[in-house]
Structure 1
Amino acid sequence: MTADAGLSVEDVLVEGRKRTNAAAILNTLDVERGTPILAFSPSSAKAEIEKLPWVKQAIVERRLPNVIYVQLIERQPLALWQKEGILHVIDQNGEVIPKAKATKFASLPLIVGPDAPDHAREILALIESEPDLGTQVKAAVRVSGRRWNIRLNNGVDVQLPEEDPTDAWSFFARIEREEGVLERDVVLVDLRLRDRLIVRTSGGTAKDKTKSVKGKKT
């Protein structure tokens, strides 16, 4: 009766779609032109649409006389997470985005470790706090669920402390600006002791560079 009265679906309007497949939305709505619009359940459609991989939240409405309106809030990719040798795309909440292909997001930062997604936002904020160093980062590796190692593009590992890692990262950035540590034959930078920077060379020699830095932080 509603179709005869002109209350039938003539159009579906979707806003906010960037990565969600359009056909998947239409299939999930399960309506076609001429479907009685009052027979369509927005709440049921909302629940089903929010099961789609890229959808974080959806608003679904009947706009009488003949439009189904859908507004999407999509999940935003944050990083690539390496787990057991497989790369997964994670969102801002550290959750894996199902069916997202890592190869399409190769420019995202890489994190490694079982609980790395739970702490991804904080380590990425730390890395970005020092842009000159940040551009040299290849991966952030979570160690024993307590702290991070930062692997640089040149293969150098930077060991961050469990406490105050941001201060340690800033400390390293200052030393790098003043002394150019990374221009030398270095394979490891140990920042786990407060206000100290110990470097290990490819020959296995460890040197405490802190004393040579002017204006050392206290």
Structure 2
Amino acid sequence: MNLAASRARPLLIALLLLALAGAALPIAQRLNGQAVNSVRVAGKFKHVSRGALEQVVADQITKGFFEVDVEAVRIASRALPWVREASVRRVWPDSLHVAIVEREPVARWNDEALMELDGTLFQPHGKASELDLPKLFGPAESEREVLSAHGRFRSVLGPLGGGIESLRLPARGGWRVMLANGTTLVLAQGQDAATLQRFANAAVKEIAEHLDQIEQVDLRYAGGFAVRLKQVPEKASGG
């Protein structure tokens, strides 16, 4: 009896494993067929349309809960113009959660793109032209240099002339700072915030009340600066 039982035991184990495998197959099939019944999106949604994000996610859900490609959903979500980063995760039993981080522009670049604080450029659609942002211009690969200079110049000039309207770095070097009142400040290559500080000190003391009448201030002189006044239209004479 003991010998027969010992011989039968492997057969019983094999039959039990087959039975368990047969039972597991329908369960696995049901799990693979488990649908994604809800999508939850999270973020600030200042510029990104919640509806547009939900549609992008829905377009990627072509398979069940366990089979949906979460990386494809993340890539598609991140492809939206105002999305900087996206994360996607499954939430049992039938939900997909998508969280986004929006881009935060701090300036315009060459009238073609918006710039983030780290110098990253992006080209959004929609109402980007309505954003009140400083205008920066410069050659390719100079984005961070110009943005950094804008921060330094702004801290020196403050509200002088209404603040900085635009900053330009020509290909030949130097800087052109346009104030909100239309006055342009010209600096040579190598000149920086210290030069502007001397001008700002002089402007506050001597020419602040006349600044709106000045078209350009050339700061490329070691001993001072040259001023060019705005042209005043001549009045038509009566006759």
TM-score, normalised on structure 1?
A: 0.75
Q: Which residue matches 2:187?
A: 160
- SS for the counterpart of 1:172 is helix
Q: Which residue matches 1:103?
A: 129
Deviation at 1:136, TM superposition (A): 2.9
Q: How does 1:33-182 map to 2 (within 5 A)?
A: 36-83=64-111, 87-92=112-117, 93-105=119-131, 107-115=132-140, 117-130=143-156, 131-133=158-160, 135-144=162-171, 146-181=173-208
The question of whether the paired residues in 2 share the 8 Å contact of 1:8 and 1:34 is answered with no
The 1-side partners of 2:207 and 2:52 are apart by 52
User: Given the alignment of the two structures, is residue 24 of structure 1 paired with residue 49 of structure 2, yes or no?
Assistant: no
- SS for the counterpart of 1:68 is strand
The question of whether the paired residues in 2 share the 8 Å contact of 1:109 and 1:138 is answered with yes
Q: RMSD of the alignment, in Å? A: 3.0
More helix, by proportion: 2
Letter of the structure 1 residue corresponding to residue 37 of structure 2? E
Deviation at 1:147, TM superposition (A): 2.5
- Deviation readout 1:74-115 (Å, 9 max, x if unpaired): 2111212334xxx5333332413232543221x111123444
The 2-side partners of 1:61 and 1:145 are apart by 50
Residues 151 and 33 (structure 1), Cα distance of their counterparts in 2 relative to 1, 3 Å cut: closer
> Once structures 1 and 2 are overlaid, which stretch shifts more, 19-28 or 182-191?
182-191
The question of whether the paired residues in 1 share the 8 Å contact of 2:48 and 2:82 is answered with yes
User: Given the alignment of the two structures, is residue 197 of structure 1 paired with residue 220 of structure 2, yes or no?
Assistant: no
Percent of residue pairs bearing the same amino acid type:
21
- Deviation readout 1:175-201 (Å, 9 max, x if unpaired): 22222356154322122345x431223
Unmatched runs of 5 consecutive residues or more in structure 2 = 1-29, 232-239
Deviation at 1:67, TM superposition (A): 2.0
Higher Cα radius of gyration: 2
Letter of the structure 1 residue corresponding to residue 123 of structure 2? I
Deviation at 1:70, TM superposition (A): 1.2
Q: Which residue matches 2:11?
A: none
How many residue pairs align between the two structures?
197
The question of whether the paired residues in 1 share the 8 Å contact of 2:176 and 2:187 is answered with yes
Letter of the structure 1 residue corresponding to residue 71 of structure 2? S
User: Given the alignment of the two structures, is residue 187 of structure 1 paired with residue 215 of structure 2, yes or no?
Assistant: yes
Deviation at 1:32, TM superposition (A): 9.3
The 1-side partners of 2:126 and 2:188 are apart by 33
Letter of the structure 2 residue corresponding to residue 89 of structure 1? L
Residues 149 and 108 (structure 1), Cα distance of their counterparts in 2 relative to 1, 3 Å cut: same
Q: Which residue matches 1:14?
A: 41
Letter of the structure 2 residue corresponding to residue 149 of structure 1? R
TM-score, normalised on structure 2?
A: 0.69
